Structure formats: C-alpha cells, structure tokens
C-alpha cells in the first residue's frame, strides 16, 4: 500500500469530446479544492464548434498563488482515447490516468510503464444504471474524490453546490452516479494501489474565483460604466454576458448589436450622451471597429474598448491565445490620434484596469483600449476580493449648465495646454456644439486651414502627457539587483513571475517587469531595460511585436526575443530552460 502524498501543487486535466461535460467535472473539483483552502488557476481548451472535437479543462491547485498552469499534469481524467494520446508523452512518471473504458480498453502505448491507470466504464455504467451517458461526469468525480481520500459527505456537498440549479429529478441521479463512482474506485482501484494523494486543508485568505473578462466588466461597472454594446465573439463574449446580467440592476443597459460595426457606433452614440460606455470584441472584430475607434479619437468621445486577443490572421484559431494585435491596438486605424492601451495580467489586474480605463476615457475624452488575450480573458483564478470602495468615478472636464452660464463663449474644442477641452454633453442648456469626423476648429466647424490642423493635432496629442503620470504602473519582482531581466505582459505575467522565482532559487539572479501600460511606453519600462545587461522579452506572436515596440521607444541593444505562436502558452519549465541556455550562450560568447 502506497503512502498518500500531500498535495502542495497539483495539476489536473479533464478531457473528452465537446459535449462530454469535461468543464462540469472541473467546476466540481474547483469547489472541492477551494473549500480546502487551495489557490486555484483554471484554463480550458475547447474546440470552436457546437459538439465534438477535443475539449479539455485544466486546474492547478497550489498552496501559494500561481498565475499559470503547471509544467506537468499529475492527474488525467479522460473520456476518450484521443485525450490520453495527446497528453501521454508529456505526463510525469508518477501521474495517474482515470480512463472511461466504455468503448474499448485504453491504448497505453504513449504512457510510461510507471503511470498508474484506472480504467472504469463510466459511460456504460451510467447508461445501464441511470439511462443517461452524461451522468458519467458525476461518476468520475466520485472516483477522483475517493482517490484523494475525501469524505463522501463533503464531496457530495460540493457536487450539490455545483449542480444546485438543476431540478431535483436531474440532481438525484447525479448523486447516485457519484456514489457509484466512489464504490468503483474503492473496489477496483484503491484496494490495488492505495490512495495516491491526501487532500489536506490549508490556510488561505478569503478569495474570489473569477476570469479576466468578468473582472474587466466588473471594474467598468464599479467605475460608473452603465452602457455596453457588443457582438458575440470568442473569447470576448463573457464581457457582454456578465454585463447583461448585472448592469440592469444599476440602471444600465447592455445590448447585443447585429455586428461589430454596429456595436462600436452604438457605443459612440451612447457615449455622446455622457454615459460611461464600453464595447468589447476579439481580434477580427477589433479590426472591423477600427474606423469607429478612430472617430472616438478624432471627435474626442470617451470610449472603452476591450480586445480579448486570439490567434489570427482572419478567423485564425478562435479558442487559442495570442498577443498579435499589439501593433494594431497601438497604431491601427487611419491617421493619428491619441489613445491609451492597458494590459491586465490576471483577473485582479482586470478589475483595476477596467475601472482605470473607464475613468481615463473620460479624462482624455477618447478611446482607451484594454488589451486582454484568450488566456487572461477566459482563465479563472482565485484572487483577493476587489476593493469596491477604492474606485471613484472621475468626470474630469465635464461642464454643467451652471458652468456654461458663467462662460462668455462655449467652444467644444477649445485649445488647452492639457489637450482636454471642456465638454458639455448634448442637451445641456448653453452647450450646443457640432461633432464631425472631419478636422475642425474650436467650435466644431470643418476646416482644412493648415495652421488650424496643426493646432488641433497638437492639442489632441497633448492629452497623453496630461495623464501619463496616472497610468497603471508595471509589476516588478525577483532580485532588484539582477542584471538579467524578463519582460512580458498579459498572459505572460504569471509565467515570468514564477520563472524568475525558480531561477533565483537555483542561483541565477533575475528580475522581471510585467508591463501594464503598453501605450504610451512608460519611462519605468525604459529604466528597467537600461538597468539590465540583457532582457528577455516574452510574448505570444511570431513577429516580436512587443520587442519592436520597446526598441522603437529606446533603440535598446540588449533585448532578446522569446516567442511562441502555436496557440499553446509558455510553461515555466520551458522558459527557465530557454533563459539558462541563453545565459550559457552569452557566457560562451564573452569567453570567445
């Protein structure tokens, strides 16, 4: 009988074909591990189709907070052969595979001999005893909870909590299936090999489990956001769905438009009324919105745009992460106009930046773009509950009727050293003004006078300097005296932090910077790069867009590019090895 291992850091994958219910199993496991006090990080890999195609969910449960998936999968729950075949070569020698053998026995050719395999025909038993294949999900949870030596009453309560919205006639067969799973595990598996793990209780502060999309929407609403227009597109749709659920309770509106062009223009119309407004989309939708976003920059209309990036070009890979819109978000669109581009690295950042973007849009009277990516947008993580009291809406230079009455003349686009002109929303008495997509003078009248064109362009450009000091600063960590640096943003945030931790523990001094303001490039970013002998720029695209952006700001000669563009995030182990190998080459070069 083996001695159960204490769980400090465990990664679980549940996989099968789309429609098998893999995500449901993971939700129940999250409830269980969360109750036991573990920090959680959940990700999913779902095919872009209604049913079929591999669908997998991963959860990392650890006693310290982590911002990425683990290097290896310790437990695989597989409902078909494809799931095991795909992941088998990467499993560690002490992994456990729980396999649904309803169709046929597992082909173990991709598995090491030391890997423990538990074969149970979940689907066949579920159909035989309960007349429905889908109950195999609850049965598999019963097996897993038994493998971890969790008391049946506690595990059952987790299942009931997760399925609480189901009617009793559906819930009860799930409970029966769960109990059967525990019996199968005890009779067919545990007696043969003992418990592989013991799930203990650990201490952790109160937490909130949330993904980046929902957190950004929450931050927007907390900062007074009350109107949203969008069109469903993976992986951004949850922003619209969250706001449709919660905005009406605050007197707000979240509506679905017929396409991305309509969404951005409806959002512009709402913003013109003075309501704090947001739209959200993903990469191909963002490109469709480019003209509308440019209009917000030209006509000086406050607007928040969330872009949950995915792999491209064109339709690309709708469910895979990428960071290949950096250039488009910063420089996309015809002509030049001021914008701010912010990049949250986790749900906690998502809330803070969602709120900050909402206020910044008012302050610069223009577009503020939130650069999400599929991993940050849809991966869920346990975070400290958000501080709602710290968020205060900022109306900046908004004029009231009384303000207008005291003015001799109201000029909507009046020249101002800050670049921000006083603004009265349409309908305010004394605040009549013209809004056009053409270049204009102070009153909004169309003009092509060269001197006026220069004045207006310079006025708008000044807005960025006006808010630069208040833009979100980056997150730094590691050894502050290290001469090796790592830079990344978005989905790289968790992996570069953990990589730096591992390298420092192994004797290689490293520090890191998670950039949260992509544009404008802040001086803190340049200072970090100058303070290192060389800096590894970690990003998810093929052209090195972030490295090019940084080099464009300072023509640095010490940047080294680490890129992935296969739809699979960096793992810490891989990044550690890349940097160790890079340092070895650097030493060889110095010696030569």
Average pLDDT over residues 18-25: 78
Q: What is the pLDDT of residues 316-353, one digit of tens each?
A: 998 899 999 999 999 999 999 999 999 999 999 999 99
Q: Is residue 541 a contact partner of residue 365, using CB atoms and an 8 Å limit?
A: no
What CATH architecture applies to the domain 5-198? 3-Layer(aba) Sandwich (3.40)
Bridge partners of 477, per DSSP, are 512
573 band by pLDDT with thresholds 50, 70 and 90: very high
Instruction: Please give the Cα distance from 379 to 212 (Å, whole number).
Output: 7
Average pLDDT over residues 46-65: 76
Alpha helices (H) in 69-164, listed in sequence order:
81-87, 122-130, 136-147, 152-162
What is the token pair recorded at 155? 């595990």
pTM of the model: 0.94
pLDDT higher than 50, residue 71: yes
pLDDT higher than 90, residue 486: yes
- Arithmetic mean of pLDDT over the chain: 92
Q: Which residue intervals of the chain bear CATH 3.40.920.10?
A: 5-198
CATH number assigned to the domain covering 209-382: 3.40.50.970
Q: How many Cβ atoms from other residues are within 10 Å of residue 125's Cβ?
A: 19
Phi, psi of 36 (to 5 degrees): -80, 0
Instruction: Please give the Cα distance from 346 to 343 (Å, whole number).
Output: 9
Residue 33's pLDDT is 95
Q: What is the pLDDT of residues 148-204, one digit of tens each?
A: 889 999 999 999 999 999 999 989 999 999 999 998 887 765 566 677 888 888 887
Q: Is residue 338 a contact partner of residue 364, using CB atoms and an 8 Å limit?
A: yes
Q: Is residue 519 a contact partner of residue 342, using CB atoms and an 8 Å limit?
A: no
Q: What is the pLDDT of residues 251-272, one digit of tens each?
A: 999 999 999 999 999 999 999 9
Q: What is the pLDDT of residues 523-565, one digit of tens each?
A: 999 999 999 999 999 999 999 999 999 999 988 899 999 999 9
Q: Report CA Rg, the chain.
A: 27
pLDDT higher than 70, residue 2: no
Instruction: Please give the Cα distance from 381 to 161 (Å, whole number).
Output: 19
Phi, psi of 386 (to 5 degrees): -70, 145
Torsion angle in degrees (nearest 10) through CA of 183, 111, 570, 239: -40
Instruction: Please give the Cα distance from 439 to 450 (Å, whole number).
Output: 11
pLDDT higher than 90, residue 128: no
Q: Which residue intervals of the chain bear CATH 3.40.50.920?
A: 475-591
Residue 86's pLDDT is 86
Q: What is the pLDDT of residues 490-532, one digit of tens each?
A: 999 999 999 999 999 999 999 999 999 999 999 999 999 999 9
Q: What is the H or E stretch that residue 381 is in?
A: strand 380-383
Q: Which residue intervals of the chain bear CATH 3.40.50.970?
A: 209-382
Q: Is residue 570 a contact partner of residue 564, using CB atoms and an 8 Å limit?
A: yes
Q: Which residues contact 167 (CB under 8 A, 6 or more apart)?
A: none
Residue 440 gets which letter from DSSP? B
Bridge partners of 440, per DSSP, are 446
pLDDT higher than 60, residue 78: yes
Average pLDDT over residues 85-94: 90
Greatest C-alpha distance within the chain: 89
Residue 189's pLDDT is 57
Residue 16 gets which letter from DSSP? E
Average pLDDT over residues 561-578: 95
pLDDT higher than 80, residue 588: no
396 band by pLDDT with thresholds 50, 70 and 90: confident
What is the token pair recorded at 490? 């978005």
Candidates 220, 219, 254, 261; CA nearest to 237 is 254
Instruction: Please give the Cα distance from 346 to 82 (Å, whole number).
Output: 31
Instruction: Please give the Cα distance from 337 to 364 (Å, whole number).
Output: 11
Residue 590's pLDDT is 54
The domain made up of 475-591 is a member of CATH 3.40.50.920? yes
Q: What is the pLDDT of residues 211-260, one digit of tens each?
A: 999 999 999 999 999 999 999 999 999 999 999 999 999 999 999 999 99
Instruction: Please give the Cα distance from 495 to 70 (Å, whole number).
Output: 10
* Percentage of the residues of the chain whose pLDDT score is greater than 90: 79
Q: How many Cβ atoms from other residues are within 10 Å of residue 284's Cβ?
A: 17
Candidates 309, 357, 354, 121; CA nearest to 219 is 354
The vertex-292 CA angle with 290 and 296, nearest 5°, equals: 115
52 Ramachandran zone, left/alpha/beta (phi>0; psi -120 to 50): left
Q: Would you give the end-to-end CA distance of the chain in angstroms?
A: 56
Of the listed ranges 10-24, 139-153, 331-345, 376-390, the least confidently predicted one is 10-24
The vertex-481 CA angle with 480 and 487, nearest 5°, equals: 55
Residue 184's pLDDT is 84
pLDDT higher than 60, residue 48: no
């Amino acid at each position: 009988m083996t001695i159960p291992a204490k769980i400090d850091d465990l990664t679980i994958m549940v996989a099968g074909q789309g429609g098998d219910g893999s995500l449901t199993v993971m939700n129940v496991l999250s409830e269980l591990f969360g109750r036991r006090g573990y920090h959680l990080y959940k990700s999913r890999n779902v095919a872009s189709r209604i049913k079929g195609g591999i669908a997998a969910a991963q959860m990392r449960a650890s006693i310290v907070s982590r911002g990425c998936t683990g290097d290896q999968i310790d437990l695989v729950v597989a409902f078909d052969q494809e799931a095991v075949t795909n992941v088998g070569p990467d499993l560690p020698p002490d992994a456990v595979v729980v396999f649904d053998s309803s169709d046929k026995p597992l082909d173990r050719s991709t598995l090491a001999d030391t890997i423990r395999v538990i074969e149970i025909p979940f689907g066949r038993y579920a159909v035989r005893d309960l007349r429905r294949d889908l109950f195999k999900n609850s049965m598999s949870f019963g097996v897993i909870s038994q493998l971890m030596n969790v008391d049946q009453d506690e595990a059952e309560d987790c299942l009931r909590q997760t399925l609480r919205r189901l009617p009793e006639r559906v819930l009860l067969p799930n409970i029966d299936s769960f109990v059967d799973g525990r019996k199968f595990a005890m009779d067919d598996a545990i007696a043969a090999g003992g418990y592989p793990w013991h799930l203990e209780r650990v201490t952790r502060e109160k937490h909130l489990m949330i993904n980046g999309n929902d957190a950004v929407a929450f931050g927007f609403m907390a900062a007074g956001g009350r109107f949203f227009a969008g069109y469903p597109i993976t992986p951004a749709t949850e922003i619209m769905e969250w706001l449709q659920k919660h905005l009406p309770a605050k007197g707000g509106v979240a509506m679905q438009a017929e396409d991305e062009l309509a969404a951005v223009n409806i959002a512009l119309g709402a913003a013109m009324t003075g309501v704090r407004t947001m739209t959200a989309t993903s990469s191909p939708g963002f490109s469709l919105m480019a003209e509308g976003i440019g209009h917000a920059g030209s006509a000086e209309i406050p607007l928040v745009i969330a872009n949950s990036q995915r792999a491209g070009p064109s339709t690309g890979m709708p469910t895979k992460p990428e960071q290949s819109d950096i250039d488009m978000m910063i420089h996309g669109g015809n002509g030049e106009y001021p914008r701010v581009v912010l990049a949250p690295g986790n749900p906690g950042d998502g809330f803070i930046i969602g709120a900050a973007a909402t206020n910044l849009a008012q302050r610069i009277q223009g577009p503020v773009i939130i650069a999400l990516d599929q991993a940050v947008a849809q991966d869920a993580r346990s975070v400290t509950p958000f501080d709602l009291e710290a968020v205060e809406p900022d109306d900046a230079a908004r004029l009231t009727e009384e303000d207008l009455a005291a003015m001799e003349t109201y000029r909507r686009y009046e020249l101002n050293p800050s670049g921000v002109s006083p603004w009265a929303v349409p309908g305010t008495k004394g605040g009549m003004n013209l809004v056009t997509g053409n270049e204009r003078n102070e009153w909004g009248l169309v003009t092509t006078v060269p001197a006026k064109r220069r004045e207006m362009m310079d006025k708008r450009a000044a807005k960025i300097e006006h808010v630069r000091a208040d833009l979100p600063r980056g997150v730094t960590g590691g050894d502050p005296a290290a001469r090796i640096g790592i830079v990344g943003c978005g989905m790289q945030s968790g992996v570069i932090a953990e990589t730096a931790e591992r390298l420092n523990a192994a004797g290689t001094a490293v520090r890191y910077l998670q950039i949260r303001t992509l544009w404008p490039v802040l001086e803190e970013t340049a200072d970090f790069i100058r303070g290192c002998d060389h800096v590894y720029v970690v990003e998810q695209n093929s052209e090195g867009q972030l490295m090019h952006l940084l080099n464009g700001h300072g023509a640095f000669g010490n940047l080294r590019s680490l890129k992935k563009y296969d739809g699979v995030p960096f793992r810490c182990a891989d990044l550690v090895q890349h940097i160790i190998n890079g340092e070895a080459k650097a030493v060889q070069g110095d010696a030569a």
